[in-house]
């Protein structure tokens, strides 16, 4: 592994010693993962996947068919991934592979030693600061432990109907894939925050979303107009539009670009981002003491705040029912926590 102590940011970006992924994880990410794990048959799938996820085989596939970045290959990107690992105080620098693929995409795969794959379509689309945000985004996936679930989703999508051992057959696998995609869309919001912490350039983070939506002609686009577009999407016309938005997302692995743009803008303005920059953030050393029930409550609070902000009439129709479900989940985790901690002394 590269020596972390020799790598320092090439401009005045702050470093976050010992930062926990809890610092940037979107509450909806954690809530969706809790819901995913509660799906019928998920535990069976996870056990089976542990046997199918051969990290060595995956790495060999990319080692043989792509370009591994390093001192002599894609040195600029190599410096970016080292820098991202330095800023987020990662214990090791993830390997990064460049794959010839015009689709602008990237992913983190693996379990014990996750690695990053970056498509050439994304490299060709972005400038250096925008690419730094994307690399930081993927390093955020690694720090959060998302890579194993992303690998699981990729394998399930490839194997599809051949997974006859899944409970309820194709119905069961479809439900789990839908659940994984719903979680991953929320996980993308977390990793966008990680990318912002790495690059510390809000404008570059926003430009990435604009380019993913409209290509390289930024001169023909406006960040203010794009944000207005995000608000218009959020407001929707009526309940039917809200349902259609929900259905449109089912097959998507990522949230729509306007949603990600608006979330980055909101988080950058919320005060959380500035607090982390100032050194006020949870540490990994305290992860073992983090409260699961508090996490569920935080997710429920986040959902309530987002519901209060949104003008989507479909969301309004289900608000009360979802609030009740979130409250029930919080109560359940409180009871589980009390039971696991044993009788009061």
pLDDT digits (tens, 9 = 90+) for 105-132: 999 988 788 999 999 999 999 999 999 9
Look at residue 251 in the predicted model and tell me its pLDDT: 65
* Pairwise CA distance, residues 242 & 47, whole Å: 36
What's the rounded mean pLDDT across residues 310-314?
49
Look at residue 233 in the predicted model and tell me its pLDDT: 85
Look at residue 185 in the predicted model and tell me its pLDDT: 84
Model confidence pLDDT, tens digit, residues 48-87: 665 556 678 888 999 999 999 999 999 999 999 999 999 9
What's the rounded mean pLDDT across residues 90-115?
93
Instruction: Please provide the average confidence, as pLDDT, over all residues in the chain.
Output: 78
Residue 266: pLDDT above 80? yes
Residue 42 to residues 165, 175, 177, 223, 328: CA-CA distances in angstroms? 12, 10, 10, 41, 21
Provide the annotated active-site residues: 138
Residue 312: pLDDT above 60? no
Look at residue 299 in the predicted model and tell me its pLDDT: 53
Residues 6+ apart with CB under 8 A from 59: 95, 110, 115
Confidence of residue 43 (pLDDT cuts 50, 70, 90): low
Under 8 Å between Cβ of 226 and 261: yes
Residue 242: pLDDT above 60? yes
What's the rounded mean pLDDT across residues 283-293?
72
Look at residue 184 in the predicted model and tell me its pLDDT: 75
Look at residue 243 in the predicted model and tell me its pLDDT: 64
What's the rounded mean pLDDT across residues 294-307?
52
Residue 306: pLDDT above 90? no
> Which residues share a beta bridge with 97?
68, 117
Percent of the chain with pLDDT over 70: 61
Look at residue 147 in the predicted model and tell me its pLDDT: 79
Residue found under tokens 């040195």: 75
Look at residue 321 in the predicted model and tell me its pLDDT: 46
Confidence of residue 282 (pLDDT cuts 50, 70, 90): very high
DSSP 94: P
Residue 21: pLDDT above 80? yes
Look at residue 295 in the predicted model and tell me its pLDDT: 52
Task: Pick the closest to residue 52 from 138, 148, 141, 142 (CA basis).
Answer: 148
Percent of the chain with pLDDT over 90: 47
**pTM of the predicted protein model:** 0.75
Model confidence pLDDT, tens digit, residues 151-203: 777 776 666 545 544 544 455 566 667 767 777 788 899 999 999 999 999 99
Residue 9: pLDDT above 60? no
> Which residues share a beta bridge with 115?
109
Model confidence pLDDT, tens digit, residues 205-219: 999 999 999 999 999
Confidence of residue 308 (pLDDT cuts 50, 70, 90): low
What's the rounded mean pLDDT across residues 36-48?
61
Helices within the chain (DSSP H only): 27-37, 42-52, 55-65, 75-87, 120-125, 128-144, 147-159, 169-199, 202-214, 223-235, 239-249, 257-270, 272-277, 292-309, 313-340
């Amino acid at each position: 592994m590269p020596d972390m102590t020799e790598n320092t940011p090439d401009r005045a970006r702050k470093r976050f010693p010992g930062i926990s992924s809890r610092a940037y994880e979107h509450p909806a990410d954690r809530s969706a993962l809790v819901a995913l794990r509660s799906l019928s048959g998920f535990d069976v799938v996870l056990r089976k996947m542990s046997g199918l996820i051969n990290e060595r085989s995956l790495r060999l596939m990319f080692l043989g068919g792509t370009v591994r970045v390093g001192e002599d290959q894609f040195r600029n990107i190599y410096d970016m991934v080292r820098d991202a690992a330095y800023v987020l105080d990662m214990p090791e620098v993830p390997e990064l592979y460049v794959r010839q693929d015009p689709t602008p995409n990237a992913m983190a795969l693996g379990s014990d030693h996750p690695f990053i794959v970056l498509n050439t379509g994304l490299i060709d689309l972005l400038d250096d600061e925008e690419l730094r945000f994307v690399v930081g985004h993927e390093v955020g996936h690694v720090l959060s432990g998302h890579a194993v679930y992303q690998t699981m989703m990729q394998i399930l999508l490839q194997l599809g109907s051949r997974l006859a051992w899944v409970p309820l057959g194709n119905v069961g696998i479809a439900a789990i894939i839908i659940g994984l995609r719903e979680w991953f869309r929320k996980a993308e919001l977390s990793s966008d925050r990680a990318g912002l912490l790495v690059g510390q350039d809000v404008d570059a983070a926003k430009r990435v979303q604009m380019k993913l939506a409209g290509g390289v002609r930024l001169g023909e686009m406006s960040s203010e107009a794009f944000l207005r577009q995000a608000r218009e999407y959020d407001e929707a016309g009526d309940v039917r539009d809200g349902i259609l938005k929900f259905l449109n997302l089912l097959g998507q692995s990522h949230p729509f670009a306007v949603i990600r743009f608006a979330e980055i803008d909101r988080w950058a303005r919320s005060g959380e981002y500035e607090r982390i920059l100032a050194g006020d953030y949870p540490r990994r050393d305290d992860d073992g003491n983090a409260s699961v029930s508090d996490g569920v409550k935080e997710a429920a609070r986040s959902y309530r705040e987002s519901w209060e902000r949104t003008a989507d009439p479909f969301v309004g129709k289900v608000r009360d029912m979802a609030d009740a479900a979130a409250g029930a989940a919080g109560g359940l985790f409180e009871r589980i926590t009390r039971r696991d901690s044993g009788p009061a002394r």
